Chain A
Amino acid sequence: MAQKLVVIGAGMASGRMLEVLLKSAPEAYDITLFGAEPRGNYNRIMLSPVLSGEKDYDEIVTHDGNWYRENAITCRFNEAVVKIDRKQKRVISAGGVCEYDKLVIATGSASFFIPVMGNDLPGVIGFRDMDDVETMLAAAKTGGEAVIIGGGLLGLEAAAALKAQGMRVTVLHLMGHLMERQLDAAAGYLLQKELESRGINVVCNAHTKAILGHERADAVLLEDGTIIGADLVVMAAGIRPESRIAVDAGLHVERGIVVDDQMQTSDPAIYALGECVEHDEVVYGLVAPLYDMAKVLAKTLTGQQAGFVAPAVSTKLKVTGVDLFSVGDFAEGDGREDIVFRDPARGVYKRIILRDERIIGVVMYGDTTDSAWFFGLLKEATNIADMRETLIFGPGFQGGASADPLAAVNALPDDAEICGCNGVCKSTIVMAINAGADDLGAVKAQTKASASCGNCTGLVEQLLVATLGDGFEAPKARPICGCTDLTHEDLRQIIKSRQLKTMAGVMQECGWKTSCGCATCRPALNFYLLVEWPLEYKDDEQSRLVNERNHANIQKDGTFSVMPRMWGGMTTPDELRAIADAADKFNVPAVHVTGGQRIDLLGVQKDDLPEIWADLNAAGMVSGHAYSKGLRTVKTCVGSDFCRFGTQDSTGLGIKLEKTLWGSWTPHKVKLAVSGCPRNCAEATCKDVGIICVDSGYEVGVAGAAGMDLKKTEALAKVATEQEAMDLAVAFIQLYRENARYLDRPYKWVAKVGLDWVIAQVVDDTDNRAKLCARFELSQSVYRADPWAALAKRENEDPTWPPLADLTLEAAQ
């Protein structure tokens, strides 16, 4: 008599297993199939096309009523198994009990509902089965807004589909870029751009705090206070193996139901396969490995030898028009190398990860024609040493092309602004060149491009090369670093004209030759992005060098120095006491009065920083930014308040300036001074901005230096009121922020653009001056804040500075 085989779950894995089993041994078992869904097996993968309307449910059914009848399977659909009774070898469902000789658990996964308030409201659903799709389609009928929580494979397919059904769609993604488990930042950037161009709103770094609504969900609240309206909330933040009945039955379950190579669980009469299992500490979420499991289990059940071997799995996104491919485990191993190829004009990005001359990972976006070839090389572990040079170009290519240095300018759209000063766009310049302007001077004369500050000279020259071909030889401009062919100035202009707001975006659109830049370009890029997009761009801590990352100066022995602000060089007995107390409490080895009119505590241990900052904060002091490419100090003299020669309140003006400017990031450090009279006790004549008070007003000088070079300030203007002096200083600094090359002090930058140009911008053009001040103020709405307080709080709540582990306490072998 045939043995009784009971299968729990009529999904893709059990479906395939039954097919194989019935083919090889049709009579071996008397089969009963339980399914919680009110239908048989269908191709779950194709739910997205059903949701988008590209397919009907009928088209994705894999096993219909006929098939089950022909194979004499007893179907108990719409009937979930609630308990496994291992002693008596039977399963229990709403319909009663059912005995087994052998049992197969294939319960798949369930959508993971992130644990926030409101996640159980009607209108919040997962994306797992046909019921979910029907719910979504019903919601989409009335249009409205859908919020998808999770920017992985499932979430993005749901987003694209619901968009196609006419909903307004927002994707909330916790991480910095989409599909971070399959894609790197560059490919994630391209994907986001594509989705946004379809009208899907994508929010990365989005921390969902709650789902709001009374009877049903009507909005999603983020940690930062943003509220996004939602008629439908789709949870696509992950899946959890559906192992509850196995846990209750006392089977060995970790993340999934643990099985051996033969798909046997800890009970020899019970097998499991599919997404509900864990094999060799891995849980799978794609069908290819599950089909391998199905074959192995079918063999095991018929007494044949077979063992499951973990395969490499690749990912594609089933969104029409999005070409994306990823394979390989980016999370393991060392000794790796990268080959990167980017074509900004076509939106193509390819990256191959090698170890020991073999491909172990591939990410492709925009052009995936060669994905199968790469996947093959990866699976076969082919030695690629011989084709290494041309590998990235795919099987069809043997010529060995090199990356095109003009790729970035070629990729610029016609209306991209090249010359910011005079508002000249690419097409205007190209037209002028085509009409005969065949050198820089001619282009300048005819279009005014590069006729002002000159920052766009490099781009104009590249356009000459791109348009005239060999007919024009551009002087070699120095690129930022080896990662790119572009200069600082080119890059700033491209960031602006192409509205690039992420580092990954810049690297892709500008054809970066490395995967994530280097210690030269990353800090510069980070700065350019935050100046251009103060509200949108999020400062990248990992692209800051040691001092700015830790908000303290590193010393040669690895300790740090701590220097609080003393506004305008003024202090109080209370502040001095707090500094003295801190020096005592943290055994500070040296206390130094600096050249910037304040006090430096040197030799503080890194781990003590948050605490010493908190103490200083409690006494009302904030970071002095003695470490930053930003405002350092404003030195003052005692001025008219005390000095018999003082003409104006130099101390007061210095304090006002420092309180306005502090916290801002600049291309290099910026130091100011205000002296109360021409005797100049605050040494204002060698500062980046120095103000000398005189009877009739204020003489504002700029571009002084007293470090490696010594240079007297040059007169910017003389003004009558304190407010004008402030405005001039602020406008000058904003102009410097927006135009200077990263790491040029103001005096170097002014030497390049010319003082006349600066005067035209901030003195003569009062309208422009006001605009510069307004842009500075906008940026300061974000950056005028004490980084010490923020870091001390973070380290207190979620410390990342202490050692990860202390092995000095671990016993020796």
Chain B
Amino acid sequence: MSHWIDIAALTDIPPRGARVVKTRHGCVAIFRTHDDRVFALDDACPHKNGALSEGLVHDASVTCPLHGWVIDLKTGLAKGADEGEVKTYALKLENGRILLDATHLLNRPAA
């Protein structure tokens, strides 16, 4: 089951940019691409936890601000020779509002 939460308007995020949502599991980065697609990923690079929300967004990818890994926003997988994966979350756009599937984000992380 999905649990959709309205988090913001699409226009709250700059095109080719990102902003974060705070959750009990840490920050989730919400990306907006040049053509208004949106993606949600943990705001932590699989390399050394760089804040992906601070990266440069191109097409449906983000380049990590710390050491330049490129993460595919669609899959959360590192591209090229790097190996690693970031958790992704379902999002949808309705009437210009961004809805985040918070099913796995609301509960406290298991101790």
Binding site for B on A (CB under 8 A): 184-185, 281, 330-338, 353, 514-519, 522-523, 541-546, 549-550, 554, 556, 558, 800-801, 803-808, 810-813
Residues of A within 8 A of B15 (CB): 542
CB distance from B104 to the nearest CB of A (A): 10
Within 8 A of A (CB), among B1-24: 3, 5, 7-8, 10, 12-17, 19-24
Residues of A within 8 A of B50 (CB): 558
Residues of A within 8 A of B85 (CB): none
Residues of B within 8 A of A803 (CB): 19-22, 27
Are B58 and A805 within 8 A (Cβ)?
A: no
Are A333 and B30 within 8 A (Cβ)?
A: no
Are B108 and A519 within 8 A (Cβ)?
A: no
Are A519 and B19 within 8 A (Cβ)?
A: no
Are A516 and B36 within 8 A (Cβ)?
A: no
Are B7 and A804 within 8 A (Cβ)?
A: yes
Within 8 A of A (CB), among B80-111: 91-96, 100, 102-103, 105-108
Residues of B within 8 A of A813 (CB): 3, 103, 106-107
A-B pairs, top 5 by smallest CB distance, nearest first, are A519-B63, A546-B65, A542-B16, A805-B7, A804-B8
Are A281 and B56 within 8 A (Cβ)?
A: no
In angstroms, Cα B75 to Cα A334, docked, is 10
Residues of A within 8 A of B54 (CB): 546, 549-550, 554, 558
Given contacts A542-B17, A806-B22, contact A332 B107 (CB under 8 A): no
> What is the number of contacts between chain A and chain B, taking CB atoms within 8 Å?
133
CB distance from B6 to the nearest CB of A (A): 9
Residues of B within 8 A of A556 (CB): 48, 66
Are B102 and A807 within 8 A (Cβ)?
A: yes
Are A805 and B34 within 8 A (Cβ)?
A: no
In angstroms, Cα B34 to Cα A660, docked, is 36
Residues of B within 8 A of A331 (CB): 10, 36-37, 93, 96
Residues of A within 8 A of B94 (CB): 281
Can you list, as one digit per residue, whether each of B38-61 has a CB less than 8 Å from chain A (1) or not (0)? 110000000011110011111111
In angstroms, Cα B61 to Cα A545, docked, is 14
In angstroms, Cα B20 to Cα A681, docked, is 47
CB distance from A396 to the nearest CB of B (A): 27
Are A334 and B36 within 8 A (Cβ)?
A: no
Between A and B, 19 residue pairs with Cβ closer than 8 Å are A184-B35, A330-B35, A331-B96, A332-B37, A333-B93, A514-B59, A518-B61, A518-B70, A519-B70, A542-B15, A542-B17, A803-B21, A804-B8, A804-B19, A804-B30, A805-B8, A806-B21, A808-B23, A811-B106
Are B74 and A335 within 8 A (Cβ)?
A: yes
- The count of residues in chain B whose C-beta lies closer than 8 Å to any C-beta of chain A is 57
In angstroms, Cα B11 to Cα A507, docked, is 25
CB distance from A607 to the nearest CB of B (A): 11
Are A516 and B16 within 8 A (Cβ)?
A: yes
Are B106 and A522 within 8 A (Cβ)?
A: no
Contact of B106 among A541, A804, A810 (CB under 8 A): A810
Residues of B within 8 A of A810 (CB): 5, 102, 106
Given contacts A330-B35, A334-B37, A336-B60, contact A804 B21 (CB under 8 A): yes
In angstroms, Cα B19 to Cα A801, docked, is 7
Given contacts A554-B66, A805-B8, contact A519 B22 (CB under 8 A): no
CB distance from B96 to the nearest CB of A (A): 8
Which interface residue of B35, B51, B61 has the most chain A CB atoms within 10 A? B35
Residues of B within 8 A of A807 (CB): 5, 7, 21-24, 102, 105-106
Residues of B within 8 A of A281 (CB): 94-95
In angstroms, Cα B57 to Cα A518, docked, is 8
CB distance from B33 to the nearest CB of A (A): 8
Residues of B within 8 A of A515 (CB): 34-35, 59
In angstroms, Cα B56 to Cα A550, docked, is 12
Contact of B56 among A333, A522, A806 (CB under 8 A): A522
Residues of A within 8 A of B63 (CB): 518-519
Beyond contacts A542-B56, A554-B54: 5 other A-B pairs, Cβ-Cβ < 8 A, are A545-B65, A549-B54, A803-B22, A807-B21, A807-B24
In angstroms, Cα B7 to Cα A805, docked, is 6
Are A334 and B91 within 8 A (Cβ)?
A: yes
In angstroms, Cα B33 to Cα A515, docked, is 11
Residues of B within 8 A of A518 (CB): 58-59, 61, 63, 70
A545 to B, closest residue via Cβ: B56
A504 to B, closest residue via Cβ: B34
Are A522 and B105 within 8 A (Cβ)?
A: no
In angstroms, Cα B36 to Cα A546, docked, is 21
Are B38 and A334 within 8 A (Cβ)?
A: yes
Which interface residue of A334, A518, A556 has the most chain B CB atoms within 10 A? A334
A521 to B, closest residue via Cβ: B58
Are A546 and B55 within 8 A (Cβ)?
A: yes
Are B58 and A514 within 8 A (Cβ)?
A: yes
Which interface residue of A333, A517, A545, A558 has the most chain B CB atoms within 10 A? A558
In angstroms, Cα B47 to Cα A556, docked, is 12
Are B20 and A812 within 8 A (Cβ)?
A: no
CB distance from A488 to the nearest CB of B (A): 18
A332 to B, closest residue via Cβ: B93
In angstroms, Cα B62 to Cα A542, docked, is 12
Residues of B within 8 A of A544 (CB): 56
B107 to A, closest residue via Cβ: A812
Which interface residue of B39, B59, B94 has the most chain A CB atoms within 10 A? B59
Are B19 and A184 within 8 A (Cβ)?
A: no
CB distance from B4 to the nearest CB of A (A): 12
Residues of A within 8 A of B66 (CB): 554, 556
In angstroms, Cα B55 to Cα A545, docked, is 7
Are B21 and A805 within 8 A (Cβ)?
A: yes
Contact of B57 among A523, A542, A554, A811 (CB under 8 A): A542
In angstroms, Cα B65 to Cα A337, docked, is 24
CB distance from A481 to the nearest CB of B (A): 10
In angstroms, Cα B57 to Cα A545, docked, is 10
Residues of B within 8 A of A542 (CB): 14-17, 56-57
Are A812 and B34 within 8 A (Cβ)?
A: no
Residues of B within 8 A of A806 (CB): 21-22
A542 to B, closest residue via Cβ: B16
In angstroms, Cα B12 to Cα A236, docked, is 24
B40 to A, closest residue via Cβ: A334
Residues of B within 8 A of A808 (CB): 22-24
A554 to B, closest residue via Cβ: B65
Are A330 and B24 within 8 A (Cβ)?
A: no
Given contacts A805-B21, A806-B21, contact A541 B14 (CB under 8 A): yes
In angstroms, Cα B15 to Cα A804, docked, is 15
Are A812 and B58 within 8 A (Cβ)?
A: no
CB distance from A539 to the nearest CB of B (A): 13
Which interface residue of A335, A542, A550 has the most chain B CB atoms within 10 A? A542
In angstroms, Cα B29 to Cα A776, docked, is 39
CB distance from B70 to the nearest CB of A (A): 7
Residues of A within 8 A of B7 (CB): 804-805, 807
In angstroms, Cα B53 to Cα A558, docked, is 10
CB distance from A24 to the nearest CB of B (A): 35
In angstroms, Cα B63 to Cα A516, docked, is 13
B10 to A, closest residue via Cβ: A331
Residues of A within 8 A of B65 (CB): 545-546, 554
In angstroms, Cα B68 to Cα A515, docked, is 20
Residues of B within 8 A of A800 (CB): 12, 14, 19
Given contacts A335-B74, A516-B58, contact A804 B92 (CB under 8 A): no
In angstroms, Cα B50 to Cα A331, docked, is 28
In angstroms, Cα B51 to Cα A803, docked, is 13
Residues of A within 8 A of B20 (CB): 803-804
CB distance from A501 to the nearest CB of B (A): 19
Are B68 and A338 within 8 A (Cβ)?
A: no
Residues of A within 8 A of B102 (CB): 807, 810
